[in-house]
Each structure stands twice: as C-alpha cells, then as structure tokens.
Structure 1
C-alpha cells in the first residue's frame, strides 16, 4: 500500500492538471484487458488520468477498486476522471 503526505498529494494534483486521460473505462468496465492496459500505462507513466466514459454512476465505488487492483494510490477524483499514482520500481544493482 502506498502512503503519501499531504504535500506529495498536492504536488501530484498540480502535475496531473497538465495531463490528458491516458486510459478510459468503457463498456467492458474493469475487465482483465482493461486492467492489463492500465498496468502497462502505469509502468510507463507513474502518474496518469483515467476517464470514465461508461459506469459514470458507479465511479465513486469503482475508483478505489481501480487503485487497489492496479496497486496504485488514488490521488483524486474530479467529475468523471480519477488520477492514479504508482511510483516506478527502482532498479537494484
């Protein structure tokens, strides 16, 4: 479980304002394919936006599930968009 300070969360929110939605939740919902695409996106970008095109009524319940299943931290949820953060793994030598 990732834990962040309030200062770190504020910094991530500021960085996220400039981002476009990288992944979209569509008709399939939180399917295995969607979670694989989300995992791949988090490997390349540690901070990303996820837009709910479908399931807009359930986004309040789905956002924490999305963070839990992807091993990321739910930074914020605004409207139909959630911001997730998962730090890139550090290379050990």
Structure 2
C-alpha cells in the first residue's frame, strides 16, 4: 500500500463497488492463512472485492478488517456494517483505471 487514495478515487471505487456482491465471507475462525490466500487471489483477479465479516462485536470486526487490509496490502475503500470493500491494483493485468488524484 505505497500510495494513498484521494477522495475522488475513493468515490469512484465506491461507485464501482455498489453493485458488487460479496465474494468472500469470514466466519468464526477469523483471518486464517487459507482465507488470506483466497482473498489475495480474488484481489489479483478482480482488484475490487466485497468481503462480509461475521460477528456481533463491532470493534472485533474493525480489527479483522484492518488486519485483512494490512496483511494483503490493500486499500480499505468502504466499510458498512458487516461488509468491507477492498481495492488493490493487479500486478499482472490492471483493469480498473483510477481517476487522477
């Protein structure tokens, strides 16, 4: 996560993520290495991913979401309730072109 996203880039990504369905869901086991590997592959392929995080404790969900973003070097675009939107540009084939900052 070398660069930070500008407000206009975040708005652009939130608009793109609006119609997306959550691709992955974190269960009771939390952020496991297997889940991280799957999410890493999903981010590489899609670049913009919605993830549903289970649990009733808001602080615990926030910790999991931030740990997930940090571990995968992804930007947290948006978090609403149990759903987080993550963005990371693909290394091989970039499909999302962000507006200029």
Alignment of 1:1-93 (within 5 A): 1=1, 2-52=3-53, 54-57=54-57, 58-90=60-92
Contact 1:48–1:84 (8 Å) recurs in 2:
yes
> Is the Cα contact below 8 Å between 2:78 and 2:85 reproduced in 1?
yes
Coordinate RMSD, CA, aligned: 1.3
Residue pair 2:30, 2:64 contacting (<8 A) in 1 also: no
Q: Flag as ranges the 4+ runs of structure 1 deviating above 2 A.
A: none
Cα distance in 2 for partners of 1:56, 1:72 equals 24
If the length of structure 2 is used for normalisation, what is the TM-score?
Answer: 0.83
TM-score, length of structure 1 as denominator length: 0.89
Shift of 1:3: 1.0
Uncovered stretches (5+) of structure 1, i.e. residues with no partner: none
Unmatched runs of 5 consecutive residues or more in structure 2: 94-101
Q: Give the secondary-structure state (helix, strand or coil) at the position aligned to 2:4.
A: coil
